[in-house]
């Protein structure tokens, strides 16, 4: 603010960034103390911290490996006071299922990713995920033949690709799996948000046009400067995104899979999913609220 009392600018920070947000609280179903947590170090190239969450009493358990969504997510996929992956891990432990979750390399090694011109989705996920699977199989309390993947958002797109490379993985749970590549989903999200305005907003229309132009550049397959590509990520990253093609991988697979999507979540287009997954049963929940509205897409029996 100037000495004249006039405002120069306004900066808005999330409450959790200022330490004012409500702290995480365990979900109603969680019985804290009904699990054991073991700290892990994961990744042969870029090491990250992880947590093995085991049921309280000793035994031999199936295990799930969590894959977070896009961006620099921590092991809980924290958004303010919400920690969905931690919540799920606690619930699984109470039902006799172990889990491994870990900070993404994009969170712990920011500069290496920022300065790289050869970054891929594999660098973002696979090194740590494969190490998590390997450590799970070597653990005395984990059934090495009953390992599953739980992927959220972009992690749900990576999950089928990961399962494809390891025939011993038993199946996957896909949470809010995107029906389009990341850069195309972003354009559609922007259009959705723009549709909420009563009148067109010029700045939003410019943002959409820029996002479309960069998405087209990413799909062209041509070597393009990172500044002209979505999110400033290099061409190598978008080439690896094109190679994922999760819907077609799932169609060709025989894995047990279940997909859970919020039907008001703007990153997902259920009709696009159905084009590829015609043999899947879809059940839409009538519950209101982002975290409770589900579309269930099931292949085979989930055990």
Residues with pLDDT less than 50, the chain: 1, 265-303
The total of other beta-carbon atoms located within 10 Å of residue 244's CB is 21
**pLDDT at 19 (0 to 100):** 64
Beta bridge partners of 147: 63
CA distance 237 to 216: 14
CA distance 189 to 169: 32
**pLDDT at 52 (0 to 100):** 98
**pLDDT at 257 (0 to 100):** 80
CB-CB contact of 245 with 159 (8 Å): no
* Backbone region of residue 184 per phi and psi (left: phi > 0; alpha: psi in -120 to 50; beta: other values): alpha
CA distance 88 to 77: 11
CA distance 261 to 279: 17
**pLDDT at 300 (0 to 100):** 35
CA distance 51 to 39: 5
**pLDDT at 276 (0 to 100):** 41
CA distance 187 to 290: 20
CATH of range 35-180+237-299; options 3.40.50.620, 3.40.50.1820, 3.50.50.60, 3.40.50.1370: 3.40.50.1820
The residues, any chain, with a CB within 8 Å of residue 293's CB and separated by 6 or more, are: 262, 263, 264, 265, 284, 285, 287
CA distance 38 to 47: 16
CB-CB contact of 125 with 73 (8 Å): no
Residue bearing tokens 């739980």: 150
CB-CB contact of 172 with 159 (8 Å): yes
């Amino acid at each position: 603010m100037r000495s004249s009392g006039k405002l120069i600018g306004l900066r808005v920070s999330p409450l959790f960034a200022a330490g004012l947000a409500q702290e995480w609280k365990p979900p109603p179903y969680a019985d804290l103390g009904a699990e054991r947590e073991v700290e892990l170090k994961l990744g042969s190239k870029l090491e990250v911290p992880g947590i093995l969450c085991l049921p309280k009493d000793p035994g031999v358990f199936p295990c799930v490996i969590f894959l977070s969504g896009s961006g620099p997510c921590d092991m809980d996929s924290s958004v303010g006071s919400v920690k969905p992956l931690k919540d799920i891990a606690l619930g699984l432990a109470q039902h006799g299922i172990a889990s491994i979750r870990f900070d993404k390399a994009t969170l712990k090694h920011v500069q290496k990713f920022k300065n790289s011109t050869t970054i891929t989705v594999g660098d973002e996920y696979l090194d740590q995920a494969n190490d998590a699977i390997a450590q799970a199989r070597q653990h005395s309390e984990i059934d090495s033949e009953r390992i599953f993947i739980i992927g959220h958002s972009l992690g749900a797109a990576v999950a089928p690709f990961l399962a494809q490379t390891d025939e011993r993985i038993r199946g996957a749970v896909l949470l809010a799996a995107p029906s389009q590549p990341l850069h195309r989903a972003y354009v559609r999200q922007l259009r959705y948000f723009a549709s909420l305005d009563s009148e067109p907003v010029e700045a939003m229309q410019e943002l959409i046009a820029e996002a479309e132009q960069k998405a087209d550049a990413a799909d062209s397959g041509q070597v393009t400067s990172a500044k002209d590509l979505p999110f400033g990520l290099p061409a190598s990253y978008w080439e690896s995104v094109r190679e994922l093609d999760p819907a077609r991988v799932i169609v060709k697979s025989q894995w047990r899979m279940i997909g859970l999507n919020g039907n008001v979540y703007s990153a997902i287009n259920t009709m696009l999913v159905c084009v590829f997954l015609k043999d899947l049963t879809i059940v839409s929940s009538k519950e209101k609220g982002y975290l409770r509205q589900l579309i269930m897409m099931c292949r085979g029996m989930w055990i």
